[in-house]
Amino acid sequence: MRRTAAVLAVLAAGAVILAALNSGTRHGHLDPRSADPTGSRAVAELLKERGVTTRVVTTAREAADATGPRTTLLVTDPDRLGAGQRSAIRSAIDLSGGRTVLLAPGDHSLSDLSPGVRTEGDAGSDDLDPRCALPAATSAGRAGTGGDLRYTTALPGATACYPSGGHPTLLVLPTGTTGGDTVLLGSETILLNESLAEQGNASLALQLLGSRPDLVWYMPSLADSDPGTGPGGQDKSLLELVPAGWSWALLQLFLAATLAALWRARRLGPLVTEKLPVAIRASEATEGRARLYRKAGARDRAATVLRAATRERLATLVGVPPTRAHEPAALVPAVSARLTGEPRDVTALLFGTTPSDDAALVALADHLDALEREVRTS
């Protein structure tokens, strides 16, 4: 039992260490440090090669303080923000003079972050053509901006691109500050590692996020969320709140426990002495054991038990110490000295081979009994 517990402890420690090591590359959905399929490390590395520095922040205050004319602010989940956080981001949009990219904002956040714009349901196709004069869109060409939200607006100066069913999935809106603009992107597809190389996704992502030398990547934390809501205003389940590294650790622990159970299941533990509820007569116990030996054909075991018991009783009768009762050199001479009849092979009788059949076993029992009687009466 202790060995099993030790093995499980070692396996558990290994699983936790492995999960901790892996957690460095598993930062989550749309995280620029994550190499997972749904992470965004690939686009961050491409931006770095083009001289754009990326800074990850998790609060609206940090995001607002970091904005400026040379900054692009990416808000990965606008609908998660609470009212105070939306107000801070809106102030940054109006005053920074830089670019703000809102990723798939819904009506929950559009009323504060981009008044005058509303959603028009989901786009019917994933890959769409630009059909606009925006240089970033015409250069990138067909891209994966569909499959999620579409928008509509009557604001002057708005540039509508990648339409689906007559409504754009990408909107560029000028802000009050000269040189600033706000980009509404209806789908996150162009930022994901797994789809960055498809169509013109990489080109569009680099141009939208790399127009300024500094990129602030704002991933709202739970502290910035509306109370009791997750993305899209829905409650998060317990499993969704567990980090990816711990999910792998739990899986490895489960597999380790299963393997340990299979490994130990075929082994029998030591015999446990149990107090019998009733007293059993010695003759009945002897008869029961004899029947078990006979059923199993265990003549060797039966002969060993008979000889060992006889040797222990004879040693007491002839004055041999109990610790030497099973030594031929100590027991045989002492027993032979007490015999008065014709010579017998005491060594073969007390330490001989296994009887060949049941008759020989019965004869051995008779000879041992006669030997003991003779020594006792001598």
Q: What token pair was written down for 314?
A: 């004879």
Edge-first strand order for the sheet with 214-218 is 53-57, 214-218, 71-75, 99-103, 181-185, 167-174, 159-164
Residue where the block lists tokens 């027993």: 335
DSSP H helical segments within 122-243, as ranges?
A: 135-140, 201-209, 238-241
pLDDT tens for the 378 residues of the chain, in order: 566 666 566 666 665 555 554 544 445 799 999 999 999 999 999 999 999 999 999 999 999 999 999 999 999 999 999 889 999 999 989 888 899 999 999 988 998 999 899 998 887 788 899 999 999 999 999 999 988 899 999 888 899 999 998 899 999 998 877 788 999 999 999 999 999 999 999 999 999 999 999 999 999 987 777 654 444 445 556 666 666 667 777 888 889 888 888 877 766 667 777 777 777 788 888 888 888 888 888 889 889 989 999 999 999 998 999 899 899 999 999 988 888 877 778 888 899 888 889 899 889 999 999 889 988 887
Would you state the structure tokens that stand for residue 161, as one six-digit string?
């691109």
Look at residue 25 in the predicted model and tell me its pLDDT.
44
pLDDT of residue 23: 47
Per-residue pLDDT tens digits for 169-193: 999 998 877 788 999 999 999 999 9
Residue 60 contacts residue 81 (beta carbons within 8 Å) = yes
CA 353 to chain centre: 59
Cα 42 to Cα 142: distance, rounded to the nearest angstrom? 20
Closest CA to 209 of 62, 111, 76: 76
Q: How far apart are CA 233 and CA 346, in angstroms?
A: 94
